[in-house]
Amino acid sequence: QKWEVSAGDGFPEIGVDIIEAKVVTLKTCLEVICYGSSESSFKNLFFLDDYACSQWSNHLGSAVEHIDEIEPGYKKVIGKLLMKMWRDETVLTKWLKLKSDYPSLFTAEFELLNIQWFKDQAFLDSLLTGDRDWIDKKLQEPPELFRLAANILSRE
């Protein structure tokens, strides 16, 4: 889905693949959350941590709207980043500390966005047995996705 976008009157229009732009933005946010802005590809972009932690959920919603049109490679990478975020206590703690309005995210709607990604066949086909078992548990009991986050928040 390409759109012609311009910076304004008198500026040339360029073609932008809106779906890919949404997906790459989500992927970048998740990479920053999972691996930090200190990674070589994000050096000197410390502000990305705040942006990624506050906006990734919005970008997830934008991407899920087009999940059937997203390339399988992106589905796999983003799915694995989502898994890391929800499973890795260090990563989840970082996100929760930087996300001031996190309580508003722990909703059935937000849970469904994550579960929709986890249900995608291209993503499921890429998983090893241990990872697949974790996903299957979350698909059977979606509220379990938030258990580690709840445990972290209860200790704070």
Q: Find the helix or strand (DSSP H, E) in which 154 lies.
A: helix 147-155
CA-wise closest residue to 99 among 63, 147, 51: 51
What is the Cα–Cα distance from 77 to 120, expressed in whole angstroms? Answer: 12
Res 43: pLDDT: 58
For the whole model, what pTM was predicted? Answer: 0.85
Query: For 60-72, what is the mean pLDDT?
Result: 96
- 1: exposed, middle or buried (Cβ count in 10 Å: 0-12, 13-18, 19+): exposed
Report CA 103 to chain centroid distance, whole Å: 17
- Residue 28 corresponds to which amino acid? T
Residue 65 has pLDDT above 90, yes or no: yes
What confidence category does residue 51 fall into, taking pLDDT thresholds of 50, 70 and 90? confident
What confidence category does residue 7 fall into, taking pLDDT thresholds of 50, 70 and 90? low
CA-wise closest residue to 154 among 115, 94, 114, 96: 96
Residue 12 has pLDDT above 80, yes or no: no
What is the Cα–Cα distance from 37 to 29, expressed in whole angstroms? Answer: 10
Residue-wise pLDDT for 79-115, tens only, equals 999 999 999 999 998 888 877 666 677 889 999 999 9
Residue-wise pLDDT for 107-142, tens only, equals 899 999 999 999 999 999 999 999 999 999 999 999
Res 2: pLDDT: 58
Query: For 23-47, what is the mean pLDDT?
Result: 78
* Residue of higher predicted confidence among 28 and 11: 28
Res 44: pLDDT: 57
